[in-house]
Structure 1
């Protein structure tokens, strides 16, 4: 049986979201039988669109700018209409991740936008699957899901610091998301009836 294909499709403005994308990919690669690719969505080629069309799972990523996904991600979403027309992404798994400078920064809205895009394509959304961290006196900023987001992986990066200083907890949360999506893709592959069979 062919490997599960998981593609991380993202835009990164200053490198922080790219580092989170690497963490998501690392998590996915930790699952046996899963191959991963990354696609920068700013200037999509036909080959990159075809890579997404052939994937079992697509994990979307974008920084949160002014309360939503970046303009580059919005352009990618608009340009995916040909996939919508042909139902090319129907029943694929989808998930999302985002980063912004503020603790909240309305990151949830960005993840909701990605989930709605996935729903319009008929995709199946995979949530983070973690309880909230850092919400008790016994917790700390080193907890997984320290920002308390359930829809996807969220990271906070200080606006005056580079991606090398990102929170390790946020990166580990991204790894968790990638691993979770890969595991769910393997589970679904094992239970699906091949096309054309009775």
Structure 2
């Protein structure tokens, strides 16, 4: 089973979150994960078409996703949307910003709407909001994993609880993709 994580990261904080999503997905036996940073150039459209799930990630800048992730979405029209290459694939999303809220929900809504237009099946977060800074889902997201990073190096921020939330999302995506795959085989 293949899960691709398509993401943008301006300063390394969202990349750290992407790595946590990948680590969580790898907890599910038989799961292979491909990290696809959109800033790295040519995109592997064939890999994305072969994926069982695609998880989208972006920093939240000015209340929405980054320009590079938006460009990826626009560039997907011919290779993915027109042939409906991602139809019925599992999708999910994660985002990070400097502010505790920072309008991260708008970024996740943008990703979910994009997935819906692709005919994908969106997976949200099944965690109640945390009550302490050490709890998973401390930011209180339902649509996807949200993280908050201080103005510091990605080696120290986002905090472990936000990375644990991202890993939980990755594992959940892999488990649901496996269930859907087993249902197709039956």
Q: TM-score, normalised by structure 2?
A: 0.96
**Which consecutive unaligned segments of at least 5 residues does structure 2 have?**
none
Query: Could you tell me which residue of structure 2 aligns to residue 137 of structure 1?
Result: none
Deviation at 1:42, TM superposition (A): 2.3
Deviations 1:107-133 (A, max 9, x none): 000000000000000000000111111
SS at match of 1:74: helix
Deviation at 1:43, TM superposition (A): 4.5
Query: Could you tell me which residue of structure 1 aligns to residue 128 of structure 2?
Result: 131
Matched, 1:97 2:94: yes
Task: Give the distance between the partners of 1:30 and 1:12, measured in 2 at CA.
Answer: 24
**Which consecutive unaligned segments of at least 5 residues does structure 1 have?**
135-139
* Contact 1:24–1:179 (8 Å) recurs in 2: yes
Matched, 1:67 2:63: yes
Aligned residue pairs, count? 184
Matched, 1:49 2:69: no
Task: Give the distance between the partners of 1:127 and 1:150, measured in 2 at CA.
Answer: 6
Q: Map residues 1-198 of structure 1 onto 2, 5 A cutoff.
A: 4-45=1-42, 48-82=44-78, 83-134=80-131, 140-159=132-151, 161-166=152-157, 167-193=159-185
Task: Give the distance between the partners of 2:181 and 2:59, measured in 1 at CA.
Answer: 31
Deviation at 1:67, TM superposition (A): 0.2
* Contact 1:42–1:76 (8 Å) recurs in 2: no
Deviation at 1:44, TM superposition (A): 4.4
SS at match of 1:33: coil
Deviations 1:79-114 (A, max 9, x none): 011110010000000000000000000000000000
Runs ≥4 in structure 1, deviation > 3 angstroms? none
Deviations 1:154-186 (A, max 9, x none): 000012x01111210000000000000000011
Q: Which of these two proteins has the greater Rg computed from alpha carbons?
A: 1
SS at match of 1:69: coil
